[in-house]
A and B are shown apart, each in its own frame.
Chain A
């Protein structure tokens, strides 16, 4: 089951209170060789070093490429880039919590559970291999909802609109969304879509079919929040109505069940439920005014 609490919650220095940390520890990983294959657990043992995070653990495992039982195996596949929680690549389920692996510090994980660290891929996205998942759907939602400023062009046209400090401070946190997908993995309304390529289907045909599937299912909290970011920007507001209309189509805001799991797991602490609340009210107003022909 997906937990709703954020793995960062455990206090720093927790380790000091309990038993001393072990010199080495086990990592249990849910592996899967390819999309259509069955998953299986595998156990690795890693020596503890100072300042380790789950990424450095996976790096050690890749270098060893050997299980606890001594069997030689292919290195575990995983996704990462920045290693400082700004790129959104390394999302996975660590000890039952969906989160960024790069900020999952080993000493804290062991302080909470000295026996082992458990790694699983995200649940709501199709597994590509091991801990790597396909998150194309997440980016498709941003295309669908047109979350950008539709400027006239890129020639010089002077500065942008003036923005109050207050407005900037409200927009900035929303603009920190790194498309990691934690909010989607934790959301009960966001269901996995996994399509297999049909016999003889071309790249383009498959992409088209996939897009249709994505576009009728829930867009998710991150995308709703992006809509509010752009709708509240002075230039973005000029096309706010269009985004709201798109947000009322199938898979739009009405699919949100208000479970608030999303906001609890967002590593960037983005006020997602505030955005969802605002989007909800804005779409209602929009629907009513359209009903009355204006």
Chain B
């Protein structure tokens, strides 16, 4: 009898941590990745990784508060038990990475140093220079290499995952992949397939993501019947450097270390920014959000920068939208030591030293909060039951998803430095459950199943491939179609969303998808044919693009990264206390109605006609009841007062379950 094997698709933080943990548990693992795993997109992460630490703990911090910040930042759209479990694991994960040799920055006494990131008031973020993701990924890559030399892990690098193989009962029994060099298509029997394929930013053309972040693997799983959750929630990072091929991120850590965002009060003031006196600078985030200042949550920073440039006409440049991100008041030594890596990126690509001259930045698509729907098993204390095969499994038995390609941890908006944590956490946490599933999987090892199952799947993909190569010349150009798709998506489904624009965009995406069916290849060979690989990825972008646009169109509210001005709940306008009070009551009524109606996960499935259908599912908010996010709203104090009275007035049983009672009062609502 053959031994069972697990196929892990993707070798970013999630795929690597799952693989090494499985290997430790004695499971044989195959890894498949488009790039050598060491070159995965996770290396781009700059800022850091969040966890409660001994210092913040003494300042009143706790795992519960990290959990609270995460769900509050995510506008309560996450299932709470997995998030709670993640926050609980945080400190142990940092310790493990520390033991694996990650070169975290140190305090003079030799402890790990921490910085502050957006959406929290604590210095929770551990970091390794400005290349934290690279350092974390390398530590895991090294461990996987160690297991490779022991024969427990086998890598298939430069392979494209084409889709899962499901048996007659709909259980995942392996997958099909294609060798990017020889173009060989092969079926891999596997008793579990883990998809850890990262984000889908390339659907927007240019983003802060790497070139393999097309979402192709997730889309192929979606096409096989997996549910896709919260697709419309796409994070636009407030600060990126515009470029011709990519929008390069300027990490939030630049603000974490004291960077200040401003525009000249006089529109397009032509002076050298250093010559503009303090009084003539508009530090709009600091003025509008005195409590969080430049470190308001991402969705808010993004919208403010966007608004200042577009509606208020205060962009630094006339032809290009951008604001200043200023570090010049900080000492060179500190900047070099803490931000060296990211400042070099700016210098390298802009030819200007950000230590001397304020940087010019603008928002860019950055992260997909949505992704493959995954399950979990709740424990008695509101966390997860570790070792449950349900953790991180999609609705297809035997097919797991983790890392940025799942929908689980970040709700409507991700907090900075929480993603590296969720990726490593989901990989480590899910492994024992996968091992348990292997023990119970029906019908023996996949490798012993009749080969017809795998031959059939392989043939199907081979035919698709051959069909693409045979397309007649002179049709549509896949690279240009990709650019067009990016333009449509960026216009309709980023910072500010309008239903008419979204409706139009849906039509445009459908039209592009049809045109893509007519695109022809400029390379019809069968050796390192990047043209056909790209075209396949492009074709698989359309279903997810539709999921994003349709989800956004249908969701008539504002939540986290999804902002529709038409449905915004503005602050109070009355000036007299009684009037304000009345307005606050109405505001809270509306908030409650909206929560009732829209605090639901968007769940997309691919219909038989190739169009996504959307339904909504309950969210487990039993641990921390939803409350309004009032960052910077006029009248926030009054609304907060009314809100608190209502919470107190409620009988305990009414309070969305019982988890909230007895827990520390979570972080106070942000005041205006």
How far is it, in angstroms, between the C-alpha of A49 and the C-alpha of B245 when the chains are bound? 11
Q: Give, as a whole number of angstroms, the nearest-CB distance from A152 to chain B.
A: 9
Pick the interface stretch among A116-124, A138-146, A282-290: A138-146
B residues 73-95 with Cβ under 8 Å of A?
92, 94-95
How far is it, in angstroms, between the C-alpha of A236 and the C-alpha of B40 when the chains are bound? 25
Given contacts A74-B522, A154-B428, contact A81 B212 (CB under 8 A): yes
Say whether B479 contacts A62, CB under 8 Å: yes
Sample of 12 further A-B pairs with CB below 8 A, known A74-B524, A78-B530, A163-B106: A8-B348, A52-B244, A62-B479, A75-B523, A75-B530, A82-B44, A87-B210, A143-B149, A151-B100, A160-B101, A172-B129, A179-B39
Q: Give, as a whole number of angstroms, the nearest-CB distance from A51 to chain B.
A: 5
In the complex, whether B181 has a CB less than 8 A from a CB of chain A is: yes
Residues of A within 8 A of B480 (CB): 63
- Among A34, A73, A143, A236, the residue within 8 A (CB) of B101 is A236
Q: Give, as a whole number of angstroms, the nearest-CB distance from A90 to chain B.
A: 10
- Per-residue 0/1 for B92-128: is the Cβ within 8 Å of any A Cβ (1 yes, 0 no)? 1011101111011111111110000000000000001
Q: Give, as a whole number of angstroms, the nearest-CB distance from B533 to chain A.
A: 10
- Among A13, A80, A139, the residue within 8 A (CB) of B36 is A139
25 contacts between A and B (CB under 8 A): A33-B527, A52-B244, A52-B245, A62-B530, A63-B477, A75-B523, A77-B530, A82-B43, A82-B210, A83-B245, A84-B44, A84-B248, A85-B348, A87-B35, A89-B35, A103-B349, A132-B528, A143-B148, A148-B142, A151-B99, A157-B95, A162-B111, A165-B108, A168-B103, A178-B43
Residues of B within 8 A of A154 (CB): 20-21, 24, 96, 428
Q: Give, as a whole number of angstroms, the nearest-CB distance from B109 to chain A.
A: 8
- Among B40, B44, B101, B348, the residue within 8 A (CB) of A103 is B348
Say whether B95 contacts A159, CB under 8 Å: yes
Residues of A within 8 A of B210 (CB): 81-83, 87
Say whether A179 contacts B143, CB under 8 Å: no
How far is it, in angstroms, between the C-alpha of A50 and the C-alpha of B244 when the chains are bound? 7
In the complex, whether B328 has a CB less than 8 A from a CB of chain A is: no
In the complex, whether A5 has a CB less than 8 A from a CB of chain B is: no
Max chain A C-beta neighbours (<10 A), residue from B108, B111, B210: B210
B residues 168-198 with Cβ under 8 Å of A?
181
- Among B36, B146, B337, the residue within 8 A (CB) of A150 is B146
In the complex, whether A113 has a CB less than 8 A from a CB of chain B is: no
5 residue pairs, one from A and one from B, having the closest CB atoms:
A148-B142, A12-B351, A162-B110, A160-B98, A65-B522
How far is it, in angstroms, between the C-alpha of A72 and the C-alpha of B521 when the chains are bound? 11
Pick the interface stretch among A20-28, A53-61, A213-221, A248-256: A53-61
Say whether B348 contacts A148, CB under 8 Å: no
How far is it, in angstroms, between the C-alpha of A12 and the C-alpha of B134 when the chains are bound? 27
- Per-residue 0/1 for B205-246: is the Cβ within 8 Å of any A Cβ (1 yes, 0 no)? 000001110000000000000000000000000000011111
Given contacts A146-B146, A149-B142, A168-B103, contact A176 B523 (CB under 8 A): no
Residues of A within 8 A of B245 (CB): 52-53, 55-56, 59, 83, 102
**Chain A: residues with CB nearer than 8 A to chain B?**
8, 12-13, 33-34, 49-53, 55-56, 59, 62-63, 65, 72-75, 77-78, 80-89, 102-103, 105, 108, 128-130, 132, 135, 139, 142-143, 146-151, 153-154, 156-160, 162-165, 167-169, 171-172, 175-176, 178-179, 230, 233, 235-236
- Chain B: interface residue count, which band? 35 or more
Say whether A172 contacts B103, CB under 8 Å: yes
Max chain B C-beta neighbours (<10 A), residue from A49, A75, A78, A87: A87
Say whether A160 contacts B211, CB under 8 Å: no
- Among A72, A80, A148, the residue within 8 A (CB) of B145 is A148
Q: Which residue of B lies closest to A129 (CB)?
A: B528
Q: Give, as a whole number of angstroms, the nearest-CB distance from A228 to chain B.
A: 13
Say whether A143 contacts B145, CB under 8 Å: yes
Residues of A within 8 A of B477 (CB): 63
- Among A13, A73, A77, the residue within 8 A (CB) of B351 is A13
In the complex, whether B388 has a CB less than 8 A from a CB of chain A is: no
In the complex, whether B418 has a CB less than 8 A from a CB of chain A is: no
In the complex, whether B66 has a CB less than 8 A from a CB of chain A is: no
Given contacts A81-B212, A82-B39, A156-B95, contact A149 B528 (CB under 8 A): no
- Among B41, B95, B96, B530, the residue within 8 A (CB) of A81 is B41
How far is it, in angstroms, between the C-alpha of A164 and the C-alpha of B236 when the chains are bound? 37
In the complex, whether B138 has a CB less than 8 A from a CB of chain A is: yes
In the complex, whether B592 has a CB less than 8 A from a CB of chain A is: no
Q: Give, as a whole number of angstroms, the nearest-CB distance from B348 to chain A.
A: 5
Q: Which residue of A lies closest to B89 (CB)?
A: A156
Residues of A within 8 A of B211 (CB): 80-83
Given contacts A53-B245, A55-B245, A154-B24, contact A149 B99 (CB under 8 A): yes
Say whether A81 contacts B35, CB under 8 Å: yes
- Among A33, A102, A139, A157, the residue within 8 A (CB) of B38 is A139
Given contacts A13-B351, A59-B479, A82-B210, contact A168 B106 (CB under 8 A): yes
B residues 13-54 with Cβ under 8 Å of A?
20-21, 24, 35-36, 38-41, 43-44
Residues of A within 8 A of B131 (CB): 86, 176
Q: Which residue of B lies closest to A142 (CB)?
A: B145
Q: Which residue of A lies closest to B109 (CB)?
A: A162
- Among B20, B149, B246, B337, the residue within 8 A (CB) of A83 is B246
Max chain A C-beta neighbours (<10 A), residue from B146, B480, B525: B146
Residues of B within 8 A of A84 (CB): 44, 246, 248, 345, 349
